[in-house]
A = this chain, B = another copy of it.
Amino acid sequence: MNREEIKRLLEDIKNEKISLEEGISEIENLPYKDIGYALVDNHRELRVGYPEVIYCAGKTVEQVVGIVEYMLKKECNILATRADEKIYDAVLNLCSDAKYNKHGRIITIKRKEIDIPNSFIAVVTAGTSDIPVAEEAAATAEFFGNKVERIFDVGVAGIHRLFGKLEIIKNAKVVVVVAGMEGALASVVAGLIDKPVIAVPTSVGYGANFGGLSALLTMLNSCSSGVSVVNIDNGFGAGYLASMINKL
């Protein structure tokens, strides 16, 4: 509620356009719905421009279904991440047009159209094993209304593969680079283009990758500028941020 709105509200009270009780209620009526185990954030789309997203890990099937059920009533688009097939089956029961991106473990339900800008997001992976995280990023960005180019398996072990795809990458408005093991691809890409690079370290690898720590540190210490980093395996976060930038 900004200054203008406060002013208008107070004037309305003063002018008795609305009752004192209504004024109090207006201020008290905070924009979320309490469903016991969750406070669904209805206000979110207004506030940050994106609808609430359901992070399924650590929630029971019943909890996810309950949240979806409530959101369906509000007729908003729904995105659920880290959803396994059991959750998808339960959601499907509730809503027959729910879609499931198996690689990216993402459920989407579409209720209203979103504008799609002409510019596109490039989602690039170092290897084939990084694809699930990349799919989470790509599917998230698509859900929020973006065109996405997928460019997979162009890691630095055979860097000529990257150069073969460089023109596409250069034309993107923002680039998501997904890489495990040593995660060097983000630095190399950022050194070759003039667009923001969102680096997603993955837990792909073994031994001294320490569950993705190696790629994470690589990306944080990038000697190329224009790189920022999200959590290990956080395809969703990268897709969300890429969408935000692509729509600027």
Chain A residues proximal to chain B, CB less than 8 Å: 2-3, 6-7, 10-11, 13-14, 16, 20, 23-24, 27-28, 30-32, 36-39, 41, 43-44, 47-50, 52-53, 55, 57-59, 63, 126-131, 152-161, 163-164, 167, 173-174, 180-184, 187-188, 190-196, 198, 201, 203-234, 236-238, 240-241, 244-245, 248
Q: A20: shortest Cβ distance to chain B, in Å?
A: 6
Report Cα–Cα, A52/B133, bound state, in Å. 24
Q: Within 8 Å CB of A228, what residues of B?
A: 198, 228-230, 237-238, 241
A129 with B58: CB separation less than 8 A? yes
| A240 touching B226 in the complex, CB below 8 Å, given contacts A129-B57, A163-B30, A212-B207 | yes
Q: Within 8 Å CB of A216, what residues of B?
A: 207-208, 220
Residue of B nearest to A131 (CB): B37
Residue of B nearest to A7 (CB): B24
Most B CB contacts (10 A, CB to CB) among A153, A181, A190, A218 go to A218
Jot down 10 A-B pairs with beta carbons below 8 A, ordered by A.
A14-B16, A30-B161, A47-B192, A58-B128, A58-B130, A181-B222, A208-B232, A220-B229, A226-B241, A227-B230
Q: Within 8 Å CB of A63, what residues of B?
A: 128
Q: Within 8 Å CB of A36, what residues of B?
A: 152
Q: Within 8 Å CB of A24, what residues of B?
A: 3, 6-7, 10
A208 with B221: CB separation less than 8 A? yes
Contacts A47-B193, A173-B248, A182-B221 aside, 4 further interface pairs with beta carbons under 8 A come to: A30-B163, A41-B161, A183-B218, A248-B248
Most B CB contacts (10 A, CB to CB) among A31, A210, A221 go to A221
Q: Within 8 Å CB of A14, what residues of B?
A: 13-14, 16, 20
Report Cα–Cα, A156/B218, bound state, in Å. 12
Report Cα–Cα, A47/B193, bound state, in Å. 6
Report Cα–Cα, A223/B157, bound state, in Å. 6
B57 with A167: CB separation less than 8 A? no
Residue of B nearest to A188 (CB): B156
Q: A11: shortest Cβ distance to chain B, in Å?
A: 7
A153 with B208: CB separation less than 8 A? no
